[in-house]
Amino acid sequence: MKKVTLKPLYHKNQECIGIYFENTTVLNGAIRKNAGAKWSQTNKCWYIPLSKENYNKLFFALKGKAAIEQSALHEYLAAKKKKVAPAKTSVTAKPVTPAMLLPTTSKKQVTVYKGGKIQAVNAHVIPAMEQHLKLKAYSPSTIKTYLGEMTQLLTILKTIPADDLTPELLKRYLIYCYEKLKLTENTLHSRINAMKFYYEQVLKRDKFFWEIPRPKKPFLLPKLLNETELTNLFNALANKKHKAMLFTAYSSGLRVSEIVNLKISDIDSKRMQILVQRAKGKKDRYVNLSPLVLDILRKYIQEYKPRPKVYLFESEQTFTAYPTRTVQQIFTNAKHKAGIRKEVGIHSLRHSFATHLLDKGTDIRYIKDLLGHFNLKTTERYLHVSKKQLVNIISPFDDLWKKNELEW
């Protein structure tokens, strides 16, 4: 019988139970389906939030399938009950934080969120905002961003009620963010969007932000790789799955979130298209499927072990979609190995796809549809980095030199 070890784990700003065992399909499926466990790439283990209900689910999920070792977890719980720091349990277990030991009866109770501590007077803000965001079906990444930005404001307010703030006070806060915290224009826009959502959507204060100007965003050109750099990047990859992943990203101009969520059923070999489902803005779209990439994907699916079943690029631990951070790290490792010094991320494959299509004379309106852009102005950024518009322009200096009137 397999051995499963349970240890205390502090992960994503909450107490958890870390679940450690040798990787097996039976145990993976049991704790994921029956106990709702999630995989932590950081800690290299499965985990569930620490609660009696979750513990019972896990216990019954493992019953008869594994021997459970939980002495470290029992020591941690005993120490927590006495409100003292536990003895050393494991290198993965983090010490009890002061926030864990706060008495629940305190008049000045503090709620701890990722990014800061929120006083009781504002404890209702984040739950109310999160509920509203979910009811409006905002994406998980947008919800995480908005709640994080709002937490920053609430942390600074301390005991000042957020619901009593005026546009004038919020202006002063934004100036503080820009001058003291040195936040970028893009981060300020994100923070304004979060506050605007709370005051106008949750509190129903129409036009509350009309008096608050937005900082002008800098005009940044897309960063891309040339053909030589792309060749070196792809050749630096030894793993067939990783290579197929980046080939697909570049050949179809996909975002990293779109790559990891591709399913085998999304590949339409008859129409030579890839269906990208619920992409940015919750829009579906079709992109072209390269015949060469189709052959590569077929070989990858047939030969790679373990063979993917649902997602085109499945995690070998969870058998679900590959984590986006892992794909980003794969790109970064290959970039360093290839000797590319440009400060670019995996999104540069998408930028390169669009720019290289422009260089070859593809109509920008088609590129807009392939990239899934809502506005043509977004796609027009690539005109500034494409060689097609500039290659036939001759500098007036060259004309002057050709007249043989200049000396060197």
Q: Which residues are catalytic?
A: 255, 280, 347, 350, 373, 382
Q: Say how far apart CA 381 and CA 300 lie, in whole Å.
A: 35
CA distance 187 to 136: 23
